[in-house]
Amino acid sequence: MSDSPQTQSQSLDALQRVGPLVHLPALAAEYGVALDAIVNGTGVAAAAFADSDALISYRQCSRILARCAKLTGNPQFGLLLGARTTTADLGQLGALFRAAPTLGQAMVAAVDVQAVNSRGATVYLHRSGDDVVFGYAIYERDAVAQDQLYPMLVAALASVIRELTQGAVVPVEMLLPLRPPVDQRPFDVALGAPLRFDQAEAGVVLPVAALDAPVAGGDPETFNRISSNASAQLAQAQRPWTRRVQRAMRPLILRGAPSTGAMARLLGIELRTLTRHLAREGTTFQTELDATRRAMACELLQTTGLAIADVADALAYAHQASFTDAFRRWTGKTPSDWRAAAA
């Protein structure tokens, strides 16, 4: 049975730069595991890990991380890998980071152009009281190993922030949508900041004032040039509108206002235009909202100990009963029954 056009589009588009994975061979070798053993049967050549600009599918990336954790016997492999990340691993995005005049400008630019690095996950920035959350969300629905991906990226974000500000900015705390591990010490050593598990999102929490922190060696002229080039590159890619909506949906849900109008404003187009684009691609905003909510719900039910009411709140449902009805429609089970079966 062949894939639908939408599934084909997602499979072809969900690419990821090797980026931080360039450190994977060395880290695995420290556990006596050869790279060939890791990539065997994955469809990814060992040579890809010598080039941070090489592209692999996000699904392959996630499965390789799962295999690394298994073969090395270290359940925190992704965390340790992310902690080795530098801006040099991030290609054009890393150059943009280094050229930014301030940390806030670096983060805003990353939100705008991070798709040049990954088509399976997104970064976002939102206000939370006196703090801001620089978050990371997976939207590739075939991804696995969230227990490796989220720690890797949170550790990578923390590492990049330290590099850009030469340690002047220290996160208030880190957030992970995972249950607490038996041994939290590897997280404390790798992250160097308070960490909260069982959260609705993954990210680094910073005081608002940290956005004004200068980036060591920032160059406004270079920053503007790289930003313009990255934006032009994305515009030329002519990404399907379905993928753009999928990319923006999870951050929109976390803000608590997932509507067609809010999505259109976020993407910078008219509501009717967005609706028309999605219809041409065989989908609707509500279809994509339901699919993202289902994926988020299953992820949070399986990887965290969040109460059902808190999961409903994270998915921007006004009432737990509405979430339960929707989840039963999607899966044929109540959230509690589904969680028990997945345990």
What are the pLDDT digits (tens) for 272-313? 999 999 999 999 999 999 999 999 999 999 999 999 999 999
- What local confidence, expressed as pLDDT, does residue 6 receive? 36
pLDDT for position 175: 98
Boundaries of every domain in the chain? 5-212, 240-342
Task: Check: CB of residue 173 under 8 Å from CB of residue 194.
Answer: yes
| CATH number, domain 240-342 | 1.10.10.60
Distance CA 94, CA 91 (A): 5
pTM of the model: 0.91
316 touches 297 (CB < 8 A): no
Instruction: For domain 5-212, give its CATH number from 1.25.40, 3.90.1520, 1.10.287, 3.40.50.
Output: 3.90.1520
pLDDT given at position 113:
87
Could you give the CA distance from residue 57 to residue 40 in angstroms, rounded to a whole number? Answer: 16
CA dihedral 315, 319, 325, 331 (to 10 degrees): 20
Task: Give the burial class of 248: count Cβ atoms within 10 A of its Cβ; 0-12 exposed, 13-18 middle, 19 or more buried.
Answer: buried
- Are residues 164 and 216 in contact, defined by beta-carbon separation less than 8 angstroms? yes
- Distance, in Å, from the CA atom of 90 to the CA atom of 268, rounded to the nearest integer, reads 27
In whole angstroms, what is the distance from residue 231 CA to residue 145 CA? 30
Phi and psi torsions of 142, nearest 5°? -95, 5
Nearest to 19 by CA among 46, 54, 62, 67: 54
- Residue pair 266/245 in contact by the 8 Å Cβ criterion: no
Query: What secondary structure does DSSP assign to 312-341, as a single string?
Result: HHHTT-SSHHHHHHHHHHHHSS-HHHHHHH
Neighbours of 114 (CB within 10 A): 21
Q: What is the pLDDT of residue 106?
A: 97
pLDDT digits (tens, 9 = 90+) for 321-331: 999 999 999 99
Q: Are strands 195-196 and 173-175 parallel, antiparallel or unpaired?
A: parallel
- Is 20 in contact with 156 (CB distance < 8 Å)? yes
- The pLDDT value recorded for residue 235 is 77
Residues of the chain below pLDDT 70? 1-13, 237-238
Q: What is the pLDDT of residue 10?
A: 36
Task: Phi first, then psi: give them for residue 122, nearest 5 degrees.
Answer: -140, 155
